[in-house]
Amino acid sequence: MTIQPANEPSVTDRGLLSTKAYATGRHLAARQSLYQWQTPQHDLPGIVVNELAEVRGPIADVGCGNGKFVKRIREDRPDLTAVPMDVSAGILGGVPGAVVADAQQLPIADGALGAALALHMLYHVEDQAQAVRELGRVLSPDGVAIVSTNSRTDKRELESLWRRSAGDVLGIPEGPARVQLSARFTLEDAPTVLGAVFTDIRTIPLPGVIEVTDADPVVAHLASYEAWADQMGVPFRETVERARERVEETIRVEGAFRVTCLGGILVCRRARVRVRAA
């Protein structure tokens, strides 16, 4: 069993992503569903649709996953041609018109798109700078890239829950940190990475608090990291089950288990180059 640092390369391992983490939409759905207990509710697909108000022409959703965003865009903006793309073929089963493609080498002509989405996915890309260049390359001069990720403070209660549960299993005060997906591309770091291509970057912060009175959604969220189980440095199933006991105990004593969230959407454009008449 190997313990890897927070930047572990397995988060970008295409084989692991496509055959385990995102072979189906199951694990992603478990993570997405935890947000139904968040206050306030943020309608992420609705926010993306709003940001597309001025966009005309084709758009791509790079790393589209289970197609949640493309579905909404197709409903609300039937005038746009939305092309879903993902490196994991298995998760695209229920996503009509999807293409298997890598964000680092998009099969799209230069300047062809009115918008490119990269939502909660750049942290999985090995060469983020290359993926950001690709987003810039495929956009028209007026085009917009819409990117999302989480803050480094996001769901810190889950990190603490995991470490304490791992500690219980290992017989020490605190076990190793779990694999943190967004650590490779945090909301705090994102403007610098995106700033290599985009000069106009607006961040929409999405804070909230998840409050559950049943341990199941939290346990499902922890269990959704199963693809990285052998890199957590602790028996995975036992730690998940110990976490369940801890969450149930907190609910019994405090009435609820709370998780503080901070995600965000970054709306990115290039500054227009003004050519002055001679």
Ligand X SMILES: C[S@@+](CC[C@H](N)C(=O)[O-])C[C@H]1O[C@@H](n2cnc3c(N)ncnc32)[C@H](O)[C@@H]1O
In this chain, which residue has its C-beta nearest to ligand X? 65
Q: Does 108 bind ligand X (CB under 6 A)?
A: no
| Interacting span for ligand X (CB under 6 A) from 48-56, 118-126, 165-173, 257-265 | 118-126
Q: Does 124 bind ligand X (CB under 6 A)?
A: yes
Q: Which of 63, 175, 233, 264 binds ligand X (CB under 6 A)?
A: 63
Q: Does 134 bind ligand X (CB under 6 A)?
A: no
Q: Does 17 bind ligand X (CB under 6 A)?
A: yes
Tell me the HSE value of 245 on the side-chain side, using a 13 A CA sphere.
10
Residue whose pair of structure tokens reads 């089950």 in the numeric block? 241
Residue whose pair of structure tokens reads 């055959």 in the numeric block? 19
Q: Which of 11, 20, 22, 178 binds ligand X (CB under 6 A)?
A: 22
Total residues at interface with ligand X (CB under 6 A): 20
Of the candidates 84, 89, 124, the residue with the CA atom closest to the CA atom of residue 104: 124
Tell me the per-residue interface mask from 71 to 90 with ligand X, x by CB under 6 A, - otherwise: ---------------xxx--
Name the token pair of 173: 């005060």
Of the candidates 116, 112, 117, 105, the residue with the CA atom closest to the CA atom of residue 140: 112
Q: Does 119 bind ligand X (CB under 6 A)?
A: yes
Name the token pair of 100: 């298997």
| Interacting span for ligand X (CB under 6 A) from 72-80, 117-125, 164-172, 208-216 | 117-125
Q: What share of the chain is helix, strand, coil (3-state, %, to 5)?
A: 40, 20, 35
Q: Does 59 bind ligand X (CB under 6 A)?
A: no
Helices assigned H by DSSP within the chain: 14-16, 26-33, 44-51, 68-76, 128-138, 156-170, 190-194, 216-223, 236-254
CB of 180 to ligand X, least distance (A): 13
Which residues make up the interface to ligand X (CB under 6 A)?
17, 22, 28, 62-65, 68, 86-88, 91, 102-104, 119-121, 124-125
